[in-house]
Structure 1
Amino acid sequence: MPKPTVTKDQELWVSAHSEEEALTKAAAKFNVPAADIQLARDEDVLDTWFSSGLFTFSIFGWPDQTEDLEAFYPGSLLETGHDILFFWVARMVFFGQRLMGKLPFKEIYLHPMVRDAHGRKMSKSLGNVIDPVDVVRGVTLEQLHEQLADANLDPKEVDKAKQGQKQDYPNGIPECGTDALRFALCAMTQGRDLNLDILRVQGYRFFCNKLWNATKFALLYFPKDTVYEVHTVASAQSPDLSPMDRWMLSRLSLAVDRVNGGFAAYDFPAATTHCYNLWLYDLCDVYLEYLKPVFASGTEAQQAAARRTLYTTLELGLKLLSPFMPFVTEELYQRLPRKDTSCPSICVAPYPTNADTPWRSEDLESDVDTVLKMVHLIRSTRSEYNLTNKQKTTAHLIIAQDLKVEALRNLFRSLQSLANSELSDEQPSIGCSILTVSDKIEVHLVLKGLIDPQKEIAKLEKKKESLSQTIAKLQQAMAADDYTSKVPAEVQKTNTEKLAQSQGEIERLQAAMETLKLM
């Protein structure tokens, strides 16, 4: 629809189906003779969606057959929201097929609708509209209130919006940075709606801090004026690599496979999850802790193998994460002691592929998982008895002979520092807490001399008494004549599970007390 400009002393606008109608409308609207009005037809089009429909080829010089049009049309992917699928995307398809003879893109990725943490649509009157800039830079509650003054809201709606802001952001919105916000949006992209939780975004800001500190700490293991390169297929077969070096490379290989698979399927939560797990759980929680005694007392060959494995994990791990967190990964990438300096920036470096990391070993990962379960049980037990880091415990492993006994024992030795314990080759003695790892593995943890048995027995007696009362109440309720007819099935199921859980806990407490009595 043409939208002529009315030229008088200033530029004014009027919409009409023809110039004659526009002239008549303008004369009436501005109360001036038609002869005093000069009309100028706007070169643009009033219909936004019509203009948007031409976008995929008009920006390349169409209707002229330009080099850009030949090179860049059609595209491959359109990213948009499902709410404008008909308004915008359909018109692009219509015009592209009709005017260019080709569809403008092969695939359409529909992102979800961003809502607040409670699943509500963002509304100024609710005070739950989140400006991305406020998440990136941070904003106080007072500043959020001030923004409402410029929102042209009714005074009653302003008060309501302030209450909403006070409830959701009592301390304002913390500064999270662009990397944390981008990572959070990709991690939460599932379904038709995305409930944006600022606390989760803040959690990924803490992840950025962890990433920074872990890399900074890891770089301390690399001597100055030395450079490194990632493992090749051949170097990863070196006999100098320890089982834990091979485990780290296996976990890296898994992450590369899953992240690339996530990108291929547009499953961004899967990609972000495996990046997160690689850095936080595999590298920080396990491998860096394993390396401390290696670099403290290991052989030169062991340390050299560990350095190259660590460097490989750092470089490829940063590259994996770079599409989601380009700023922090770029900064850290520039600090790596890289032998290959042909890539000036991480954003132009080749992305890791499965061919680059053929190191997956599911058997080794399974063995390490078993040992980590031992570690977690020991740490949990130490925590229950409030043992300090200075109080080292001795662990005896009881492993069925049909398992890989020596392999598991050697892996435990590698990771025993994580449990603040030492592996004993002797037979377990009296005064051990027995930790069940599986039906074929037990850890006998020596506590004698580290705790006061009588005090611990008294604590367990109190827990046992409390559980006995819970069991008695449940049994009394379940014994009622009308229990099965009047009590909802879900409640009956919950009570049955709670009863079994409490009875099992009573048995464990009794076994623990019997053990303590022997100390």
Structure 2
Amino acid sequence: IVVERQLEAQGVSRHDLGREEFVKKIWEWKEYSGNTITSQMRRLGASCDWSRERFTMDEGLSKAVNEVFVSLFEKGYIYRGKRLVNWDINLQTAVSDLEVISEEENGKMWHIRYMVKDSAESIVIATTRPETMLGDVAVAINPDDERYQHLLGKYLILPLVGREIPVVADDYVDAAFGTGCVKITPAHDFNDYELGKRHNLEMINIMTLDGNINENAPAKYQGLERFAARRAIVADLEALELVVDIKPHKLMVPRGDRTGVVIEPLLTDQWFMDMDKFAARGLELVESGKIRFVPENWKKTYDQWLEKIQDWCISRQLWWGHRIPAYFDDAGKIYVARSREEAEQQAGQRNLRQDHDVLDTWFSSGLWAFSTLGWPEKTEELEMFLPSNVLVTGFDIIFFWVARMIMLTEEFTGEIPFKDIYINGLIMDAHGEKMSKSKGNVIDPLDIINGISIDDLVAKRSANLMNPKQAEAIAKQTRKDYPDGFLAFGADALRFSLATAATQARYINFDLKRIEGSRNFCNKIFNASKFVLMNITTHRELVGTSNAADKSLIDNWILLELAQLITAVDEGFKTYRFDLATQQIYEFIWNQFCDWYLELAKVNLQSADRAVRAATIDTLISVWEAVLRIAHPFMPFLTEEIWQVLAPLTDKKATPSIMLAQFPVAADYFDLKQTADAGEITSNASKHNVADNIKFLKEIIVEIRNLRAEMNLKPSENVPLFIKLQPSETQDNSARINQFAAYIQSMAKVSEISFVSSFEGLDFPIKSLPLVELMLKVEIDVAVETIRLSKEIEKHGKEVEKLRLKLDNPKYLERAPANLVALDTTRVNELNGVIAQLQAQLAKLA
């Protein structure tokens, strides 16, 4: 279509060029567009063996296509016949049901009177396509409809044509719908086609392949375009007073998915493939568990399609594609052969003409799993790579591609093509619309990676449109959605964003904010790496000198967290939950490693104990190197760059690239299966003790920070901390806190820590935890603090007053959404709680 549009812009049609020259133009476009696709994949970091790149029109694959077609023909599964097909007037070819999109549109229902032969009696039929009445061959009624029983066996006179058509009975007719009488046009309606076959009715085609009325209709209408003919026919029927009524009617209109043109059911000579045997085998292979859908719900979709499958129309009236290996002699006899020479031998003559039709593109694509591996030859590649582990694809081509690969691969190799089928969601545009060139809303991943100005983005989106008239609207929408174009986010940010969005949902809306967040995450990783490498430089003499027994509580804690991360990410890969895997990676790097461990590690690296410093620097290196390997499948470029610098400092640089390094194993960092006995409970290497102590430490630091915020302390101001211990029968919490002292002082800006038995006489805010109560000793200017607290109380009081006015208004309660009323009520309660705390503090000051 794109090439034809380009030629039209030059005032040239494909027929002007001829088939050979037109195909050359398409090859040129293929080279351009194909190279664009592979350059996108390479830039995104797809680690393929690019020496094995294949195209369905390659010589080897074309040989496989011919072999399969001839073999299926010889087995009786492929046949040629005149049947009703979906005809695209613009493309001038048959298209499959899967290439037709039916959407509800506003139309009309015409009620037309048909006279009974040799009688003043008449019946009324209803139709949404009055132009097809020229091809009517019968009117059908339900066999149980008593209203029309007396007409069975009689004939009607077809208006405007004068042809006598019979009244037939068929269960297909719904007596309660419309008038209960249905016009039958077997050559232009799929349901009528089946009914026509049941009653041996004539099939009269009244339309040319161009969508014009042909010689089988009255001369007056011949040559008229189908919709112009509709208007003329309705006008003539009205003049004859045969139009009983015209009503507005919503109907499903079938349109070609590539052209948007209304599809016309037409009788044409086509090649078909009998699908019954293949569908049964396809169902069996999935039902048996040999092939698995992920998510599993797509199996139901697959099953439903195969259970209702029709014979596949595999021929297309196009010039581009695999030409059907069938040859005709002058008498019209067909010879199907692997080569022209073989066909000539079959015919006993050389005066043969090859079929002009090409195969449906999904016919050759259905052979992909084995044709790319050298079949029909027995090759090492076939032995090694068939079946493959997984096919990653979209739900929109389960029928087009997945099902046909399963059926054809098993038929010709005896193998399944793949074990798992992972169905990912479709990336839609920001408005939830499917991306397409015709809509001008496609987002090129290279533009996200490299960046693009708004002017260049508009120019790119409005070029090579199927409908050039849309250019202005597309430009306007693009400038509205992306006024600044796209910044250069890099491949890693895009990859990570897509992985986080892989929630197994059917559709995923494009979200620029998500990509911005991923870019910030990349920056976080880069800055964390700088910190790690800086400390390696500072403590170079300590690298590789530590013993496992020297590891502190925080070192063992981050190793425990790392082991849990490896386990979670490994499970994410096994279950194809890439969103959960990336969520775990993000949480570990941003929160556990950067926000907590790096800050805690700073304390250890300043320790006077050389063993503590050595253990922490080695843990820092070991953990970060493992994190780079864990994140690498999602962020290959950044992790490779950092790993090349970091890995030589560990014993992990056994491979030249991180992508060849082994994925981390949890047990190498912490034994997650250990069970702590009573003697281990205080050990820094005990899983229970590590998790429990770090949780306790974090709670203390967080609550002290909350206290500081409530008291408006400056970040640089260090203040004393008073701790009151709650009674505990199992633990010496003062010893635990003393172990944490340096961490608390550093991360919570505490100058000293004192244990007290009571807070009596100390009028400062208190934070209570299950095991301790915390108080910061701060010298307060009573007058200044009184003013501050009074202002806070006044501010919150005004907000409560405004909310109460709303909530006391019956009209608001009646009209506002329940969730909004609930939010306002909750906010009032929260503010009253804050005011009560502030008033208590004010009372103490007084």
The TM-score with structure 1 as length reference comes to 0.84
Q: How many residues align?
A: 493
Match status 1:434 vs 2:765: yes
Q: 2:700 aligns with which of 374, 381, 385?
A: 374
SS of 1:424's equivalent in the other structure is: strand
Q: 2:459 aligns with which of 131, 137, 146?
A: 146
Q: 1:274 aligns with which of 563, 569, 584?
A: 584
Match status 1:199 vs 2:513: yes
CA contact (8 A) 1:112 1:192 kept: yes
How much does 1:434 deviate? 2.5
Partner amino acid, structure 1, of 2:473: K
How much does 1:328 deviate? 1.0
For 2:472 and 2:812, locate their aligned partners in 1 and report how far apart those are by CA, in whole Å: 50
For 2:16 and 2:429, locate their aligned partners in 1 and report how far apart those are by CA, in whole Å: 43
Partner of 2:722: 396
SS of 1:335's equivalent in the other structure is: helix
How much does 1:199 deviate? 2.1
Partner of 2:787: 458
For 1:167 and 1:205, locate their aligned partners in 2 and report how far apart those are by CA, in whole Å: 23
How much does 1:377 deviate? 3.4
For 1:345 and 1:387, locate their aligned partners in 2 and report how far apart those are by CA, in whole Å: 49
Match status 1:315 vs 2:625: yes
Q: Which has the higher strand share?
A: 2
How much does 1:108 deviate? 0.5
User: CA separation of 1:141/1:107 partners in 2, compared to 1, >3 Å: closer, same or farther?
Assistant: same
Q: 2:395 aligns with which of 68, 82, 91?
A: 82
For 2:20 and 2:576, locate their aligned partners in 1 and report how far apart those are by CA, in whole Å: 51
CA contact (8 A) 1:141 1:166 kept: yes
User: CA separation of 1:348/1:491 partners in 2, compared to 1, >3 Å: closer, same or farther?
Assistant: closer
For 1:120 and 1:227, locate their aligned partners in 2 and report how far apart those are by CA, in whole Å: 57
User: CA separation of 1:6/1:150 partners in 2, compared to 1, >3 Å: closer, same or farther?
Assistant: closer
User: CA separation of 1:279/1:480 partners in 2, compared to 1, >3 Å: closer, same or farther?
Assistant: closer
SS of 1:79's equivalent in the other structure is: strand
Partner of 1:173: 486
User: CA separation of 1:308/1:54 partners in 2, compared to 1, >3 Å: closer, same or farther?
Assistant: same
For 2:542 and 2:447, locate their aligned partners in 1 and report how far apart those are by CA, in whole Å: 41
For 2:434 and 2:773, locate their aligned partners in 1 and report how far apart those are by CA, in whole Å: 53
Q: 2:776 aligns with which of 445, 449, 454?
A: 445
For 2:475 and 2:732, locate their aligned partners in 1 and report how far apart those are by CA, in whole Å: 63
Residue segments in structure 2 that go unaligned for 5+ positions in a row: 1-14, 24-317, 333-350, 673-686
CA contact (8 A) 2:555 2:619 kept: yes
Residue segments in structure 1 that go unaligned for 5+ positions in a row: 25-36
User: CA separation of 1:135/1:21 partners in 2, compared to 1, >3 Å: closer, same or farther?
Assistant: farther
CA contact (8 A) 1:243 1:411 kept: no
SS of 1:106's equivalent in the other structure is: strand
User: CA separation of 1:149/1:250 partners in 2, compared to 1, >3 Å: closer, same or farther?
Assistant: same
User: CA separation of 1:117/1:309 partners in 2, compared to 1, >3 Å: closer, same or farther?
Assistant: same
User: CA separation of 1:432/1:302 partners in 2, compared to 1, >3 Å: closer, same or farther?
Assistant: farther
Partner of 2:651: 339
Q: String of CA shifts for 1:311-340, please: whole Å, max 9, x gaps.
A: 111111111111111111111111111235
For 2:688 and 2:666, locate their aligned partners in 1 and report how far apart those are by CA, in whole Å: 15
For 1:423 and 1:212, locate their aligned partners in 2 and report how far apart those are by CA, in whole Å: 35
User: CA separation of 1:446/1:359 partners in 2, compared to 1, >3 Å: closer, same or farther?
Assistant: farther
SS of 1:341's equivalent in the other structure is: coil
User: CA separation of 1:225/1:469 partners in 2, compared to 1, >3 Å: closer, same or farther?
Assistant: closer
Partner of 1:299: 609
Q: String of CA shifts for 1:427-454, please: whole Å, max 9, x gaps.
A: 36856642425354332012215xx443
User: Which of the pair has more CA radius of gyration?
Assistant: 2
How much does 1:386 deviate? 4.6
Q: 1:63 aligns with which of 362, 376, 381?
A: 376
For 2:525 and 2:469, locate their aligned partners in 1 and report how far apart those are by CA, in whole Å: 45
Partner amino acid, structure 1, of 2:613: Q
Partner amino acid, structure 2, of 1:315: E
Match status 1:503 vs 2:829: no
How much does 1:258 deviate? 0.9
314-323 or 214-223, larger mean C-alpha shift: 214-223
CA contact (8 A) 2:542 2:614 kept: no
How much does 1:133 deviate? 0.1
For 1:287 and 1:120, locate their aligned partners in 2 and report how far apart those are by CA, in whole Å: 43
Q: Which has the higher helix share?
A: 1
SS of 2:359's equivalent in the other structure is: coil
Match status 1:96 vs 2:392: no
Partner of 1:28: none
For 1:303 and 1:420, locate their aligned partners in 2 and report how far apart those are by CA, in whole Å: 22
Q: 1:328 aligns with which of 621, 624, 638?
A: 638
For 2:387 and 2:799, locate their aligned partners in 1 and report how far apart those are by CA, in whole Å: 69
SS of 1:129's equivalent in the other structure is: coil
User: CA separation of 1:291/1:139 partners in 2, compared to 1, >3 Å: closer, same or farther?
Assistant: same
Partner amino acid, structure 1, of 2:443: I
How much does 1:180 deviate? 1.1
Partner amino acid, structure 1, of 2:527: N
User: CA separation of 1:476/1:179 partners in 2, compared to 1, >3 Å: closer, same or farther?
Assistant: closer
How much does 1:389 deviate? 3.6
SS of 1:448's equivalent in the other structure is: coil
What's the RMSD between the two structures over aligned residues?
Answer: 3.5
Identity of aligned residues (%): 33
How much does 1:161 deviate? 2.1
Partner amino acid, structure 2, of 1:308: D
User: CA separation of 1:241/1:161 partners in 2, compared to 1, >3 Å: closer, same or farther?
Assistant: same
Q: 1:133 aligns with which of 437, 443, 446?
A: 446
User: CA separation of 1:119/1:460 partners in 2, compared to 1, >3 Å: closer, same or farther?
Assistant: farther
For 2:360 and 2:815, locate their aligned partners in 1 and report how far apart those are by CA, in whole Å: 63
Match status 1:365 vs 2:691: yes
User: CA separation of 1:9/1:67 partners in 2, compared to 1, >3 Å: closer, same or farther?
Assistant: closer
User: CA separation of 1:21/1:470 partners in 2, compared to 1, >3 Å: closer, same or farther?
Assistant: farther
Q: String of CA shifts for 1:372-420, please: whole Å, max 9, x gaps.
A: 2332333344345553343212222233122651324533532431222
For 2:545 and 2:406, locate their aligned partners in 1 and report how far apart those are by CA, in whole Å: 45
Q: String of CA shifts for 1:211-232, please: whole Å, max 9, x gaps.
A: 122112112222587695699x
SS of 1:352's equivalent in the other structure is: coil
SS of 2:583's equivalent in the other structure is: helix
CA contact (8 A) 2:558 2:593 kept: yes
Partner amino acid, structure 1, of 2:841: A
Match status 1:219 vs 2:533: yes
User: CA separation of 1:302/1:362 partners in 2, compared to 1, >3 Å: closer, same or farther?
Assistant: same
CA contact (8 A) 1:45 1:51 kept: no
For 2:472 and 2:711, locate their aligned partners in 1 and report how far apart those are by CA, in whole Å: 52
CA contact (8 A) 2:726 2:773 kept: no
For 1:112 and 1:77, locate their aligned partners in 2 and report how far apart those are by CA, in whole Å: 16
For 1:480 and 1:500, locate their aligned partners in 2 and report how far apart those are by CA, in whole Å: 18
For 1:129 and 1:230, locate their aligned partners in 2 and report how far apart those are by CA, in whole Å: 55
For 1:341 and 1:477, locate their aligned partners in 2 and report how far apart those are by CA, in whole Å: 66
How much does 1:464 deviate? 1.7
Partner of 1:209: 523
User: CA separation of 1:362/1:508 partners in 2, compared to 1, >3 Å: closer, same or farther?
Assistant: farther
